[in-house]
Structure 1
Amino acid sequence: MDDEFLMAEDIEETASPAWMYQKSKLDQFQNQIESGFMAMQTSFEYLMKTINKNPERIIFDVENIIVLGNLATYTIPVKSILSKLKNPFAGGGGLQATRTTRKGELKGKESNVCIQPDYKNVSELPGCDVLDSYFLMLLNDDKFILQKDHSPLRRAMLMLYGLSVSPASDVMKTWIESATGGEYKPEESAIEIKGTHGWKWRVS
Protein backbone atom coordinates (compact mmCIF):
# COMPACT_ATOMS: atom_id res chain seq x y z
CA MET A 1 0.00 0.00 0.00
CA ASP A 2 2.80 2.39 0.97
CA ASP A 3 4.68 1.54 -2.24
CA GLU A 4 1.59 2.30 -4.29
CA PHE A 5 1.20 5.65 -2.51
CA LEU A 6 4.84 6.59 -3.14
CA MET A 7 4.54 5.58 -6.79
CA ALA A 8 1.44 7.74 -7.20
CA GLU A 9 3.32 10.71 -5.73
CA ASP A 10 6.21 10.23 -8.14
CA ILE A 11 4.01 10.35 -11.24
CA GLU A 12 4.75 13.55 -13.17
CA GLU A 13 1.83 15.69 -14.26
CA THR A 14 1.36 15.85 -18.01
CA ALA A 15 -0.24 18.91 -19.59
CA SER A 16 -3.26 18.38 -21.80
CA PRO A 17 -5.33 20.58 -24.13
CA ALA A 18 -8.44 18.74 -22.92
CA TRP A 19 -11.20 20.97 -21.54
CA MET A 20 -11.29 19.19 -18.14
CA TYR A 21 -7.56 19.63 -17.62
CA GLN A 22 -7.59 23.28 -18.68
CA LYS A 23 -10.59 23.98 -16.43
CA SER A 24 -8.91 22.37 -13.41
CA LYS A 25 -5.73 24.42 -13.96
CA LEU A 26 -7.77 27.63 -14.30
CA ASP A 27 -9.61 26.85 -11.05
CA GLN A 28 -6.30 26.14 -9.34
CA PHE A 29 -4.86 29.45 -10.56
CA GLN A 30 -7.95 31.36 -9.41
CA ASN A 31 -7.85 29.73 -5.96
CA GLN A 32 -4.17 30.61 -5.56
CA ILE A 33 -4.83 34.26 -6.50
CA GLU A 34 -7.79 34.47 -4.10
CA SER A 35 -5.69 32.90 -1.36
CA GLY A 36 -3.05 35.55 -1.98
CA PHE A 37 -5.66 38.32 -1.68
CA MET A 38 -6.90 36.87 1.61
CA ALA A 39 -3.36 36.68 2.99
CA MET A 40 -2.76 40.28 1.89
CA GLN A 41 -5.93 41.44 3.66
CA THR A 42 -4.87 39.69 6.88
CA SER A 43 -1.36 41.14 6.71
CA PHE A 44 -2.82 44.60 6.01
CA GLU A 45 -4.90 44.35 9.20
CA TYR A 46 -1.77 43.50 11.22
CA LEU A 47 0.07 46.42 9.61
CA MET A 48 -2.70 48.85 10.55
CA LYS A 49 -2.75 47.45 14.08
CA THR A 50 0.97 48.20 14.43
CA ILE A 51 0.50 51.76 13.11
CA ASN A 52 -2.54 52.43 15.31
CA LYS A 53 -0.75 51.11 18.41
CA ASN A 54 2.12 53.58 17.87
CA PRO A 55 0.49 56.93 16.94
CA GLU A 56 3.29 58.93 18.55
CA ARG A 57 6.10 56.96 16.92
CA ILE A 58 4.76 56.24 13.43
CA ILE A 59 3.72 59.59 11.96
CA PHE A 60 3.10 61.11 8.54
CA ASP A 61 4.27 64.24 6.79
CA VAL A 62 3.33 65.35 3.27
CA GLU A 63 5.14 62.56 1.41
CA ASN A 64 6.69 60.28 4.02
CA ILE A 65 6.06 57.89 6.86
CA ILE A 66 8.35 58.76 9.75
CA VAL A 67 9.27 56.09 12.28
CA LEU A 68 10.73 57.34 15.56
CA GLY A 69 13.09 54.60 16.69
CA ASN A 70 14.86 54.36 20.02
CA LEU A 71 18.20 55.16 18.39
CA ALA A 72 17.34 57.31 15.38
CA THR A 73 14.60 58.71 13.13
CA TYR A 74 13.69 56.91 9.90
CA THR A 75 11.98 58.54 6.91
CA ILE A 76 10.27 56.30 4.34
CA PRO A 77 8.70 57.74 1.16
CA VAL A 78 5.05 56.69 0.90
CA LYS A 79 5.31 56.59 -2.91
CA SER A 80 8.02 53.91 -2.85
CA ILE A 81 5.94 51.72 -0.53
CA LEU A 82 2.77 52.04 -2.59
CA SER A 83 4.57 51.32 -5.85
CA LYS A 84 5.85 48.04 -4.40
CA LEU A 85 2.41 47.05 -3.13
CA LYS A 86 0.59 48.07 -6.31
CA ASN A 87 2.99 46.38 -8.69
CA PRO A 88 5.60 44.03 -7.18
CA PHE A 89 6.88 43.27 -10.68
CA ALA A 90 8.12 46.84 -11.16
CA GLY A 91 11.66 47.78 -10.18
CA GLY A 92 14.15 45.76 -8.18
CA GLY A 93 13.39 43.47 -5.28
CA GLY A 94 13.60 44.25 -1.60
CA LEU A 95 13.05 47.40 0.40
CA GLN A 96 14.78 50.62 -0.57
CA ALA A 97 17.36 52.28 1.66
CA THR A 98 15.76 54.43 4.35
CA ARG A 99 16.95 57.94 5.16
CA THR A 100 18.12 58.01 8.76
CA THR A 101 18.64 61.07 10.95
CA ARG A 102 19.52 61.55 14.60
CA LYS A 103 16.90 60.63 17.16
CA GLY A 104 14.12 63.23 17.31
CA GLU A 105 15.46 65.15 14.28
CA LEU A 106 14.21 65.28 10.70
CA LYS A 107 17.00 67.46 9.35
CA GLY A 108 20.73 67.71 9.90
CA LYS A 109 23.25 64.94 9.66
CA GLU A 110 21.86 61.89 7.91
CA SER A 111 22.75 58.44 6.70
CA ASN A 112 21.00 55.70 4.74
CA VAL A 113 20.26 52.26 6.05
CA CYS A 114 19.05 49.26 4.10
CA ILE A 115 17.42 46.73 6.42
CA GLN A 116 15.69 43.63 5.13
CA PRO A 117 13.27 41.63 7.29
CA ASP A 118 14.66 38.46 8.85
CA TYR A 119 12.79 35.99 6.69
CA LYS A 120 14.43 33.41 4.45
CA ASN A 121 11.15 33.04 2.57
CA VAL A 122 10.44 36.78 2.30
CA SER A 123 9.49 36.37 -1.38
CA GLU A 124 6.52 34.25 -0.30
CA LEU A 125 5.16 36.75 2.23
CA PRO A 126 2.36 39.26 1.54
CA GLY A 127 3.71 42.78 1.00
CA CYS A 128 2.04 44.17 4.12
CA ASP A 129 3.68 41.46 6.25
CA VAL A 130 7.09 42.63 5.04
CA LEU A 131 6.17 46.27 5.71
CA ASP A 132 4.78 45.48 9.17
CA SER A 133 7.99 43.62 10.06
CA TYR A 134 10.05 46.56 8.79
CA PHE A 135 8.17 49.07 10.95
CA LEU A 136 8.53 46.83 14.01
CA MET A 137 12.27 46.50 13.37
CA LEU A 138 12.66 50.28 13.17
CA LEU A 139 10.56 50.82 16.30
CA ASN A 140 12.82 48.34 18.12
CA ASP A 141 16.10 49.33 16.49
CA ASP A 142 17.92 49.10 19.83
CA LYS A 143 17.18 45.35 19.89
CA PHE A 144 17.80 44.53 16.24
CA ILE A 145 21.09 46.43 16.07
CA LEU A 146 22.73 43.72 18.18
CA GLN A 147 21.83 40.95 15.75
CA LYS A 148 24.64 39.68 13.56
CA ASP A 149 22.93 40.38 10.23
CA HIS A 150 22.20 44.04 10.95
CA SER A 151 25.62 45.54 10.29
CA PRO A 152 24.01 48.20 7.99
CA LEU A 153 22.17 49.58 11.02
CA ARG A 154 25.36 49.66 13.10
CA ARG A 155 27.18 51.47 10.29
CA ALA A 156 24.36 53.99 10.07
CA MET A 157 24.62 54.73 13.80
CA LEU A 158 28.38 55.24 13.53
CA MET A 159 27.84 57.58 10.59
CA LEU A 160 25.27 59.59 12.55
CA TYR A 161 26.90 59.73 15.96
CA GLY A 162 30.50 58.64 15.59
CA LEU A 163 31.95 57.33 18.84
CA SER A 164 30.54 60.15 20.96
CA VAL A 165 27.87 59.87 23.64
CA SER A 166 24.53 59.32 21.89
CA PRO A 167 21.24 57.42 22.11
CA ALA A 168 23.13 54.50 20.51
CA SER A 169 26.07 54.50 22.95
CA ASP A 170 24.84 51.70 25.21
CA VAL A 171 24.00 49.23 22.45
CA MET A 172 27.12 50.13 20.46
CA LYS A 173 29.22 49.58 23.59
CA THR A 174 27.74 46.10 23.95
CA TRP A 175 28.42 45.30 20.30
CA ILE A 176 31.91 46.81 20.02
CA GLU A 177 33.18 45.20 23.19
CA SER A 178 31.79 41.77 22.30
CA ALA A 179 33.10 41.98 18.72
CA THR A 180 36.56 43.46 19.37
CA GLY A 181 37.34 42.64 22.99
CA GLY A 182 38.19 46.31 23.41
CA GLU A 183 36.72 48.93 25.70
CA TYR A 184 34.41 51.55 24.24
CA LYS A 185 34.53 54.91 26.06
CA PRO A 186 31.80 57.11 24.58
CA GLU A 187 32.59 59.98 26.97
CA GLU A 188 36.05 60.09 25.37
CA SER A 189 34.81 59.22 21.86
CA ALA A 190 37.30 56.37 21.78
CA ILE A 191 37.80 52.62 21.70
CA GLU A 192 40.79 51.07 23.47
CA ILE A 193 41.99 47.65 22.33
CA LYS A 194 44.65 45.73 24.23
CA GLY A 195 47.85 45.01 22.37
CA THR A 196 50.97 43.09 23.41
CA HIS A 197 53.26 43.92 26.33
CA GLY A 198 50.64 46.09 28.01
CA TRP A 199 50.17 48.38 25.02
CA LYS A 200 46.71 49.65 24.13
CA TRP A 201 45.56 50.71 20.69
CA ARG A 202 43.30 53.74 20.85
CA VAL A 203 40.78 54.49 18.10
CA SER A 204 39.05 57.86 18.25
Structure 2
Amino acid sequence: MVDWGGLFEFDDDGDDGANQSVPLDEQQQRRENMLETMLMMSEASKRAAHWVEEIISNNEGRMKLDKEGRLLITGQLAYYRVNINAFLSKFNNPFDYNSFDSVEVHPKSGLVESPKTACVQIRTSGSMPAYDFLGGYILGLMNDSASWLEESMHPLRRTLFDIYGLSRSPLTESLSSHYAQAINGVFNWQDDTFTFNGTNGWKWRINFSNPLGQGYEILYQKPRQTWWNSMFSDHVKETTGHHTMSGFFGLVEHLSEAPKLLKTASEWETDPIFIRKVASVYPALAKVLIHRIEDENYSADQIYSFYDEPIESDEAERVSILDDIIRQTVWA
Protein backbone atom coordinates (compact mmCIF):
# COMPACT_ATOMS: atom_id res chain seq x y z
CA MET A 1 0.00 0.00 0.00
CA VAL A 2 1.32 3.41 -0.95
CA ASP A 3 2.16 5.63 2.01
CA TRP A 4 0.59 8.82 0.68
CA GLY A 5 1.17 10.56 4.00
CA GLY A 6 4.89 9.88 3.81
CA LEU A 7 5.04 10.84 0.15
CA PHE A 8 3.41 14.23 0.63
CA GLU A 9 4.59 14.75 4.24
CA PHE A 10 1.32 14.83 6.09
CA ASP A 11 -0.14 12.71 8.87
CA ASP A 12 -2.91 10.36 7.69
CA ASP A 13 -4.48 10.50 11.15
CA GLY A 14 -4.99 14.21 11.08
CA ASP A 15 -3.92 17.33 9.27
CA ASP A 16 -4.78 20.80 10.34
CA GLY A 17 -5.20 22.01 6.76
CA ALA A 18 -7.42 19.08 5.69
CA ASN A 19 -9.58 19.32 8.81
CA GLN A 20 -10.30 23.01 8.58
CA SER A 21 -14.00 23.59 8.83
CA VAL A 22 -15.29 24.30 5.29
CA PRO A 23 -18.99 24.07 4.38
CA LEU A 24 -19.83 21.01 2.28
CA ASP A 25 -21.42 23.10 -0.48
CA GLU A 26 -18.18 25.09 -0.79
CA GLN A 27 -16.11 21.86 -0.95
CA GLN A 28 -18.40 20.56 -3.67
CA GLN A 29 -17.97 23.78 -5.65
CA ARG A 30 -14.19 23.49 -5.41
CA ARG A 31 -14.31 19.89 -6.65
CA GLU A 32 -16.54 20.89 -9.54
CA ASN A 33 -14.19 23.73 -10.46
CA MET A 34 -11.25 21.31 -10.43
CA LEU A 35 -13.14 18.81 -12.62
CA GLU A 36 -14.21 21.53 -15.04
CA THR A 37 -10.62 22.72 -15.38
CA MET A 38 -9.34 19.20 -16.07
CA LEU A 39 -12.07 18.55 -18.64
CA MET A 40 -11.35 21.86 -20.38
CA MET A 41 -7.68 20.92 -20.59
CA SER A 42 -8.61 17.51 -21.93
CA GLU A 43 -10.83 19.05 -24.61
CA ALA A 44 -8.10 21.52 -25.56
CA SER A 45 -5.65 18.64 -25.96
CA LYS A 46 -8.20 16.72 -28.03
CA ARG A 47 -8.68 19.68 -30.38
CA ALA A 48 -4.92 20.13 -30.64
CA ALA A 49 -4.44 16.42 -31.43
CA HIS A 50 -6.92 16.71 -34.32
CA TRP A 51 -5.03 19.79 -35.48
CA VAL A 52 -1.76 17.85 -35.58
CA GLU A 53 -3.39 15.08 -37.62
CA GLU A 54 -4.82 17.71 -39.97
CA ILE A 55 -1.37 19.30 -40.42
CA ILE A 56 0.16 15.96 -41.40
CA SER A 57 -2.80 15.08 -43.63
CA ASN A 58 -2.79 18.44 -45.42
CA ASN A 59 0.97 18.17 -46.01
CA GLU A 60 1.08 14.50 -46.91
CA GLY A 61 3.58 15.22 -49.66
CA ARG A 62 6.05 16.60 -47.11
CA MET A 63 5.17 14.64 -43.96
CA LYS A 64 5.08 10.85 -43.80
CA LEU A 65 5.05 8.34 -40.95
CA ASP A 66 7.32 5.31 -41.21
CA LYS A 67 6.49 1.88 -39.79
CA GLU A 68 8.24 2.73 -36.49
CA GLY A 69 5.93 5.71 -36.04
CA ARG A 70 8.63 8.28 -36.77
CA LEU A 71 7.59 11.34 -38.75
CA LEU A 72 9.74 12.18 -41.77
CA ILE A 73 9.45 15.88 -42.64
CA THR A 74 10.67 17.39 -45.89
CA GLY A 75 11.93 20.86 -45.03
CA GLN A 76 13.24 23.39 -47.50
CA LEU A 77 16.78 22.98 -46.18
CA ALA A 78 16.91 19.36 -45.03
CA TYR A 79 14.96 16.21 -44.19
CA TYR A 80 14.00 15.72 -40.53
CA ARG A 81 13.02 12.54 -38.72
CA VAL A 82 11.09 13.10 -35.48
CA ASN A 83 10.49 10.37 -32.92
CA ILE A 84 6.77 10.88 -32.31
CA ASN A 85 6.57 7.92 -29.94
CA ALA A 86 9.12 9.53 -27.65
CA PHE A 87 6.97 12.66 -27.55
CA LEU A 88 3.82 10.67 -26.77
CA SER A 89 5.65 8.93 -23.94
CA LYS A 90 6.55 12.29 -22.44
CA PHE A 91 2.99 13.51 -22.90
CA ASN A 92 1.67 10.49 -20.99
CA ASN A 93 4.02 11.32 -18.13
CA PRO A 94 3.62 15.06 -17.36
CA PHE A 95 6.50 14.92 -14.88
CA ASP A 96 8.95 13.96 -17.60
CA TYR A 97 11.04 16.61 -19.35
CA ASN A 98 8.67 18.46 -21.69
CA SER A 99 10.75 18.42 -24.81
CA PHE A 100 11.73 16.29 -27.77
CA ASP A 101 14.68 14.02 -28.07
CA SER A 102 17.17 15.10 -30.70
CA VAL A 103 15.72 15.26 -34.19
CA GLU A 104 17.62 13.59 -37.03
CA VAL A 105 18.79 16.01 -39.72
CA HIS A 106 19.52 14.64 -43.21
CA PRO A 107 20.85 16.60 -46.22
CA LYS A 108 18.48 17.36 -49.08
CA SER A 109 20.49 14.97 -51.26
CA GLY A 110 18.82 12.10 -49.40
CA LEU A 111 18.64 10.11 -46.16
CA VAL A 112 21.98 8.97 -44.76
CA GLU A 113 22.86 6.08 -42.46
CA SER A 114 24.52 8.24 -39.82
CA PRO A 115 22.61 11.53 -39.71
CA LYS A 116 23.53 14.52 -37.61
CA THR A 117 21.13 15.50 -34.84
CA ALA A 118 19.87 18.74 -33.30
CA CYS A 119 18.00 19.56 -30.09
CA VAL A 120 15.44 21.93 -31.60
CA GLN A 121 13.31 23.98 -29.21
CA ILE A 122 10.33 26.25 -29.84
CA ARG A 123 8.84 28.93 -27.64
CA THR A 124 5.98 27.69 -25.49
CA SER A 125 3.62 29.02 -22.85
CA GLY A 126 2.47 27.26 -19.72
CA SER A 127 -1.11 27.03 -21.02
CA MET A 128 -0.13 25.50 -24.39
CA PRO A 129 -1.55 21.97 -24.86
CA ALA A 130 1.13 19.41 -25.60
CA TYR A 131 -0.22 18.72 -29.08
CA ASP A 132 -0.16 22.43 -29.92
CA PHE A 133 3.52 22.25 -29.04
CA LEU A 134 3.92 19.27 -31.37
CA GLY A 135 2.04 21.02 -34.18
CA GLY A 136 4.20 24.13 -33.92
CA TYR A 137 7.31 21.97 -33.83
CA ILE A 138 6.64 20.04 -37.04
CA LEU A 139 5.45 23.17 -38.87
CA GLY A 140 8.64 24.93 -37.85
CA LEU A 141 10.75 22.12 -39.29
CA MET A 142 8.77 22.06 -42.52
CA ASN A 143 9.28 25.82 -42.89
CA ASP A 144 12.89 25.72 -41.74
CA SER A 145 14.17 28.35 -44.17
CA ALA A 146 12.11 30.98 -42.33
CA SER A 147 13.29 30.00 -38.84
CA TRP A 148 16.76 28.46 -38.90
CA LEU A 149 18.56 31.80 -38.53
CA GLU A 150 16.63 32.84 -35.40
CA GLU A 151 18.79 32.94 -32.27
CA SER A 152 16.55 30.40 -30.51
CA MET A 153 17.27 27.94 -33.33
CA HIS A 154 21.01 27.94 -32.71
CA PRO A 155 21.30 24.11 -32.39
CA LEU A 156 19.57 23.59 -35.76
CA ARG A 157 21.62 26.38 -37.36
CA ARG A 158 24.84 24.78 -36.17
CA THR A 159 23.80 21.33 -37.42
CA LEU A 160 22.75 22.58 -40.86
CA PHE A 161 26.01 24.48 -41.16
CA ASP A 162 27.94 21.35 -40.18
CA ILE A 163 26.21 19.52 -43.04
CA TYR A 164 26.58 22.11 -45.80
CA GLY A 165 29.30 24.55 -44.74
CA LEU A 166 29.71 27.66 -46.87
CA SER A 167 29.45 25.94 -50.25
CA ARG A 168 26.43 26.60 -52.46
CA SER A 169 23.60 24.70 -50.82
CA PRO A 170 19.94 24.94 -49.78
CA LEU A 171 21.13 27.42 -47.11
CA THR A 172 22.56 29.88 -49.62
CA GLU A 173 19.45 31.90 -50.49
CA SER A 174 18.18 32.52 -46.96
CA LEU A 175 21.70 33.04 -45.56
CA SER A 176 22.52 35.61 -48.24
CA SER A 177 19.23 37.44 -47.75
CA HIS A 178 19.61 37.51 -43.96
CA TYR A 179 23.10 39.00 -43.97
CA ALA A 180 22.35 41.41 -46.81
CA GLN A 181 19.66 42.99 -44.65
CA ALA A 182 21.49 42.78 -41.33
CA ILE A 183 25.04 43.94 -42.14
CA ASN A 184 25.08 44.68 -45.88
CA GLY A 185 26.77 41.33 -46.36
CA VAL A 186 27.64 40.02 -49.82
CA PHE A 187 28.80 36.52 -50.74
CA ASN A 188 31.08 36.14 -53.75
CA TRP A 189 30.78 32.49 -54.68
CA GLN A 190 33.41 32.70 -57.41
CA ASP A 191 36.08 33.94 -55.00
CA ASP A 192 34.64 32.17 -51.92
CA THR A 193 34.48 35.35 -49.87
CA PHE A 194 31.97 37.09 -47.64
CA THR A 195 32.22 40.87 -47.27
CA PHE A 196 30.23 42.88 -44.72
CA ASN A 197 30.14 46.07 -42.68
CA GLY A 198 31.79 46.57 -39.33
CA THR A 199 31.55 49.78 -37.31
CA ASN A 200 33.36 53.13 -37.59
CA GLY A 201 33.52 52.83 -41.37
CA TRP A 202 35.38 49.51 -41.32
CA LYS A 203 34.58 46.61 -43.62
CA TRP A 204 35.47 42.97 -43.10
CA ARG A 205 36.06 40.13 -45.53
CA ILE A 206 36.16 36.42 -44.74
CA ASN A 207 37.88 34.19 -47.29
CA PHE A 208 36.81 30.55 -47.02
CA SER A 209 38.56 29.20 -50.13
CA ASN A 210 41.40 27.29 -48.43
CA PRO A 211 40.41 23.62 -47.98
CA LEU A 212 43.56 22.95 -45.93
CA GLY A 213 42.94 25.75 -43.42
CA GLN A 214 41.45 25.16 -40.01
CA GLY A 215 39.88 28.60 -40.08
CA TYR A 216 39.33 31.51 -42.44
CA GLU A 217 41.47 34.27 -43.82
CA ILE A 218 40.25 37.55 -42.32
CA LEU A 219 40.84 40.85 -44.11
CA TYR A 220 39.80 44.39 -43.25
CA GLN A 221 39.33 47.70 -45.00
CA LYS A 222 39.49 50.98 -43.12
CA PRO A 223 37.61 54.15 -44.11
CA ARG A 224 38.72 55.67 -47.43
CA GLN A 225 40.81 52.60 -48.29
CA THR A 226 40.20 50.90 -51.63
CA TRP A 227 42.49 47.96 -50.89
CA TRP A 228 42.23 45.04 -48.47
CA ASN A 229 44.61 44.29 -45.59
CA SER A 230 45.17 40.79 -44.24
CA MET A 231 44.72 40.38 -40.47
CA PHE A 232 44.83 36.57 -40.22
CA SER A 233 45.67 33.99 -42.86
CA ASP A 234 44.08 31.27 -40.70
CA HIS A 235 42.20 32.78 -37.78
CA VAL A 236 41.89 29.51 -35.85
CA LYS A 237 45.65 28.93 -35.82
CA GLU A 238 46.53 32.57 -35.17
CA THR A 239 44.17 33.45 -32.31
CA THR A 240 43.66 31.93 -28.85
CA GLY A 241 40.44 30.11 -29.75
CA HIS A 242 38.19 32.58 -27.93
CA HIS A 243 34.51 31.68 -28.38
CA THR A 244 33.78 34.95 -30.22
CA MET A 245 36.12 33.80 -32.97
CA SER A 246 34.82 30.22 -33.09
CA GLY A 247 32.36 29.26 -35.79
CA PHE A 248 31.18 31.28 -38.75
CA PHE A 249 28.09 32.84 -37.17
CA GLY A 250 29.82 33.92 -33.96
CA LEU A 251 32.77 35.28 -35.92
CA VAL A 252 30.58 37.36 -38.25
CA GLU A 253 28.59 38.75 -35.31
CA HIS A 254 31.78 39.75 -33.47
CA LEU A 255 33.46 41.34 -36.48
CA SER A 256 30.31 43.24 -37.45
CA GLU A 257 30.46 45.01 -34.06
CA ALA A 258 34.15 45.84 -34.37
CA PRO A 259 36.11 47.96 -33.88
CA LYS A 260 33.58 49.90 -31.75
CA LEU A 261 32.85 46.98 -29.41
CA LEU A 262 36.55 46.49 -28.67
CA LYS A 263 36.92 49.86 -26.94
CA THR A 264 34.91 48.62 -23.97
CA ALA A 265 35.62 44.88 -24.20
CA SER A 266 37.46 43.14 -21.36
CA GLU A 267 39.95 40.33 -21.90
CA TRP A 268 37.05 37.94 -21.30
CA GLU A 269 34.85 39.41 -24.02
CA THR A 270 37.14 39.19 -27.02
CA ASP A 271 40.22 37.40 -28.24
CA PRO A 272 43.37 39.05 -26.79
CA ILE A 273 45.29 38.65 -30.05
CA PHE A 274 42.44 39.93 -32.20
CA ILE A 275 41.90 43.10 -30.15
CA ARG A 276 45.62 43.87 -30.26
CA LYS A 277 45.78 43.22 -34.00
CA VAL A 278 43.06 45.79 -34.49
CA ALA A 279 44.65 48.25 -32.03
CA SER A 280 47.98 48.04 -33.86
CA VAL A 281 46.34 49.63 -36.90
CA TYR A 282 43.65 51.67 -35.14
CA PRO A 283 45.11 54.42 -32.90
CA ALA A 284 41.78 55.16 -31.19
CA LEU A 285 41.72 51.63 -29.79
CA ALA A 286 45.46 51.65 -29.04
CA LYS A 287 44.95 54.69 -26.78
CA VAL A 288 42.35 52.70 -24.81
CA LEU A 289 44.48 49.57 -24.50
CA ILE A 290 47.66 51.37 -23.47
CA HIS A 291 46.27 51.91 -19.96
CA ARG A 292 45.73 48.18 -19.60
CA ILE A 293 49.10 47.02 -20.88
CA GLU A 294 51.01 49.68 -18.94
CA ASP A 295 49.44 48.71 -15.63
CA GLU A 296 52.11 47.56 -13.15
CA ASN A 297 50.20 44.32 -12.50
CA TYR A 298 49.85 43.49 -16.18
CA SER A 299 51.55 40.44 -17.67
CA ALA A 300 50.73 38.86 -21.03
CA ASP A 301 51.18 35.33 -19.66
CA GLN A 302 48.53 36.04 -17.03
CA ILE A 303 45.76 36.61 -19.58
CA TYR A 304 43.11 33.96 -19.11
CA SER A 305 41.08 32.33 -21.81
CA PHE A 306 37.36 31.70 -21.47
CA TYR A 307 38.26 28.23 -20.14
CA ASP A 308 39.64 29.99 -17.05
CA GLU A 309 43.18 28.94 -17.90
CA PRO A 310 46.16 31.09 -18.90
CA ILE A 311 46.69 31.39 -22.63
CA GLU A 312 49.48 29.28 -24.13
CA SER A 313 53.08 30.52 -23.93
CA ASP A 314 53.36 31.04 -27.71
CA GLU A 315 50.09 33.01 -27.63
CA ALA A 316 51.40 35.16 -24.76
CA GLU A 317 54.53 35.83 -26.80
CA ARG A 318 52.44 37.04 -29.75
CA VAL A 319 50.45 39.26 -27.38
CA SER A 320 53.68 40.77 -26.05
CA ILE A 321 54.89 41.57 -29.56
CA LEU A 322 51.58 43.27 -30.34
CA ASP A 323 51.77 45.16 -27.03
CA ASP A 324 55.06 46.65 -28.15
CA ILE A 325 53.52 47.74 -31.46
CA ILE A 326 50.68 49.40 -29.55
CA ARG A 327 53.16 51.26 -27.35
CA GLN A 328 54.98 52.49 -30.44
CA THR A 329 51.67 53.57 -31.99
CA VAL A 330 50.65 55.57 -28.91
CA TRP A 331 54.01 57.05 -27.93
CA ALA A 332 55.29 57.77 -31.44
TM-score, normalised relative to structure 2: 0.51
Q: Is the aligned partner of 1:154 residue 2:154?
A: no
Q: Is the aligned partner of 1:105 residue 2:110?
A: yes
Match of 1:124 in 2: 127
Q: Which has the higher contact order (CA 8 A, sep 6+)?
A: 1
Task: Sort the Cα spacing of 1:24 and 1:143 in 2 relative to 1 into closer, same or farther, 3 A.
Answer: same
Quote the Cα distance in structure 1 between the aligned partners of 2:47 and 2:88.
17
Q: Is the aligned partner of 1:35 residue 2:40?
A: yes
Match of 2:73 in 1: 67
Q: Is the aligned partner of 1:78 residue 2:84?
A: yes
Task: Sort the Cα spacing of 1:189 and 1:57 in 2 relative to 1 into closer, same or farther, 3 A.
Answer: farther
Q: CA RMSD in A?
A: 2.6
Q: Secondary structure at the match of 1:112?
A: strand
1:160 CA drift (Å): 0.9
Quote the Cα distance in structure 2 between the aligned partners of 1:82 and 1:44.
11
What amino acid is the match of 1:170? E
Match of 1:3 in 2: none
Contact 1:76/1:99, CA 8 A, preserved across alignment: yes
Contact 1:67/1:139, CA 8 A, preserved across alignment: yes
Quote the Cα distance in structure 1 between the aligned partners of 2:141 and 2:21.
50
1:143 CA drift (Å): 1.1
What amino acid is the match of 2:23? A
Contact 1:40/1:127, CA 8 A, preserved across alignment: yes
Stretches of structure 1 that go unaligned for 5 or more consecutive residues are: 1-14
What amino acid is the match of 1:115? V
What amino acid is the match of 1:171? S
Identity of aligned residues (%): 24
What amino acid is the match of 1:58? M
What amino acid is the match of 2:161? L
1:144-187: CA deviation from partner (whole Å, max 9, x where unpaired): 12434323332222111000111111112223444554432345
Task: Sort the Cα spacing of 1:80 and 1:104 in 2 relative to 1 into closer, same or farther, 3 A.
Answer: farther
Quote the Cα distance in structure 2 between the aligned partners of 1:154 and 1:27.
48
Q: Secondary structure at the match of 1:138?
A: helix
Contact 1:95/1:114, CA 8 A, preserved across alignment: yes
Quote the Cα distance in structure 2 between the aligned partners of 1:118 and 1:104.
30
Stretches of structure 2 that go unaligned for 5 or more consecutive residues are: 1-19, 197-203, 205-219, 235-247, 249-332
1:17 CA drift (Å): 3.7
Residue-pair matches, total: 187
Task: Sort the Cα spacing of 1:161 and 1:109 in 2 relative to 1 into closer, same or farther, 3 A.
Answer: farther
